[in-house]
Amino acid sequence: MAVVRKRKPATRKAAKKTTTRRKPAAKRTTARKKPVARKRVAKRATARKTTAQKATTRKPAAKKKTKAKRKPNPAFMRPWTLSEELGAVVGMKPIPRTEVTKKLWIYIKRNKLQDTVNRRMINADDKLRKVFGGKRKVSMFEMTKLVSKHLK
């Protein structure tokens, strides 16, 4: 039997928490019988049957509800009348602000007006310079601000 020594506590709090160590439980030595190979095969076959039966008894998954497409705000899609300068680039027909931006980008890409080094900058030609208030180079973020002045 092993002797358990108690250490002297360093502080009063540690003195309260002292515990004795227990011996590990003795190992049980009982002879186990080896299972017969036939029984193992039989158990596996029944296990397979039960999993197959469980799979067939499952209920089909509930169908997910398809969400309707999100409709834009009608005020956002309101047609605007365009100024003559902007109408020369986009067209004179009243269209929503989103369509104006799309058509402007089509014009910019068709005429290769996007700066090759800094793709955020747009090099204005004669028609766009009138829309941009005489500026030769405009950033794409500034472009929308300048275009909004031409919408009524």
pLDDT per position as a tens digit, 76-100: 889 999 999 999 999 999 999 999 9
pLDDT below 50 — which residues of the chain?
none
Kind and range of the H or E run holding 137: strand 137-139
Report the distance separating Cα 12 and Cα 15, nearest Å. Answer: 5
Tell me, yes or no, whether 29 lies in a domain: no
pLDDT of amino acid 128: 94
Among the listed residues 142, 36, 140, 129, the one whose alpha carbon sits nearest the alpha carbon of residue 85: 129
Tell me, yes or no, whether 129 lies in a domain: yes
Tell me, yes or no, whether 120 lies in a domain: yes
pLDDT of amino acid 76: 83
For position 124, which CATH number holds? 1.10.245.10
Tell me, yes or no, whether 1 lies in a domain: no
| Host domain of residue 116 | 84-148
Report the distance separating Cα 101 and Cα 146, nearest Å. Answer: 11
pLDDT of amino acid 43: 55
Number of domains, the chain = 1
Joined together, the tokens standing for residue 75 give: 């005020």
